[in-house]
């Protein structure tokens, strides 16, 4: 029996993906918790940016929105969305965290609608916000999401945010920066990357207690599963202590399982 839940595991894995000195644009929720955890552990020089304009804050407690005053706390700049997007366009932002209602095998994200009829969708979502800009212009896109076959689909109903589009070099053909694109998908089952040539999603590591059958049953497309893959390293005692006592002591994020 593990002493952590799936949300805590996902946040710890995401935090390890952010090396010291990197620049990352985050939103609220699990991505913000991951950035805070990284900043308080292995990456004290991580530069955190928020879409509303906060640049390089030292986050005291969990902000509730990207415009929360805490996103400017002890920061380098209290800027605006224009400066954030300009930095992304200049090519100096390493990572962004995104999510959506659907993701396909090439990392395309849908946060617009369920159903392919744009005039009369089954469900309407908020849309892009800054997601399209961030995934188009930041070098690496990280997705933290629960995994099931409703989210992991063969074809997204609407491409809100470009991943590798149709795979291969389609992203570059569309005029997006060469070398940019989806990087990691972190779920409650495993960690996924992308095949270097086809750009299809592939298993990198399987979480303790999870199986290949769990991957297949919760994926609506054929996931690439290599002969050799890693087992995800469980959260350390230090990571869990900092996450629970300093990052999210009220358990707004870590108080629930990933579903």
Query: Strand pairing partners for 185?
Result: 143, 192
Compute the chain's Rg from CA coordinates: 18
pLDDT at 58: 93
Strand 113-114 to 123-124 pairing: antiparallel
pLDDT at 259: 67
**Tens digits of residue pLDDT in 12-45:** 999 999 999 999 999 999 999 999 999 999 999 9
Q: Is-contact 53 68, C-beta < 8 A?
A: no
**Tens digits of residue pLDDT in 109-140:** 999 999 999 999 999 999 999 999 999 999 99
**Tens digits of residue pLDDT in 159-207:** 999 999 999 999 999 999 999 999 999 999 999 999 999 999 999 999 9
Other beta carbons less than 10 A from residue 11's beta carbon:
32
Fold of the domain spanning 6-247: Glutaconate Coenzyme A-transferase (3.40.1080)
Where does the pLDDT of residue 1 fall: very low under 50, low under 70, confident under 90, or very high at 90 and above?
very low
Q: Which residues are catalytic?
A: 51
């Amino acid at each position: 029996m593990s002493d952590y839940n799936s949300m805590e595991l996902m946040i710890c894995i995401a935090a390890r993906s952010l090396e010291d000195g990197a620049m990352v644009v985050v939103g609220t929720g699990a991505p913000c918790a991951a950035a805070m955890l990284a900043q308080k552990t292995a990456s004290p020089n991580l530069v955190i940016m928020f879409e509303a304009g906060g640049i390089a804050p030292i986050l005291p407690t969990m902000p509730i929105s990207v415009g929360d005053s805490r996103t400017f706390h002890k920061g380098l700049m209290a800027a605006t969305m224009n400066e954030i997007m300009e930095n992304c366009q200049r090519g100096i932002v390493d990572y962004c965290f995104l999510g959506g209602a659907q993701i396909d095998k090439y990392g395309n994200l849908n946060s617009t609608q369920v159903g392919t009829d744009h005039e009369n969708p089954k469900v309407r979502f908020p849309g892009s916000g800054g997601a399209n800009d961030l995934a188009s212009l930041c070098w690496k896109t990280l997705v933290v999401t629960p995994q099931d076959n409703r989210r992991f689909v063969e074809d997204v109903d609407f491409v809100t945010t470009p991943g590798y589009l149709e795979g291969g070099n389609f992203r570059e053909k569309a005029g997006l920066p060469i070398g940019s694109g989806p990087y990691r998908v972190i779920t409650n089952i495993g960690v996924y990357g992308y095949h270097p040539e086809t750009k299809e999603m592939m298993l990198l590591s399987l979480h303790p207690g999870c199986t290949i059958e769990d991957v297949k049953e919760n994926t609506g497309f054929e996931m690439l599963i290599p002969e050799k893959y890693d087992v995800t390293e469980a959260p350390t005692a230090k990571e869990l202590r900092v996450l629970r006592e300093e990052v999210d002591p009220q358990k707004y994020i870590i108080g629930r399982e990933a579903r």
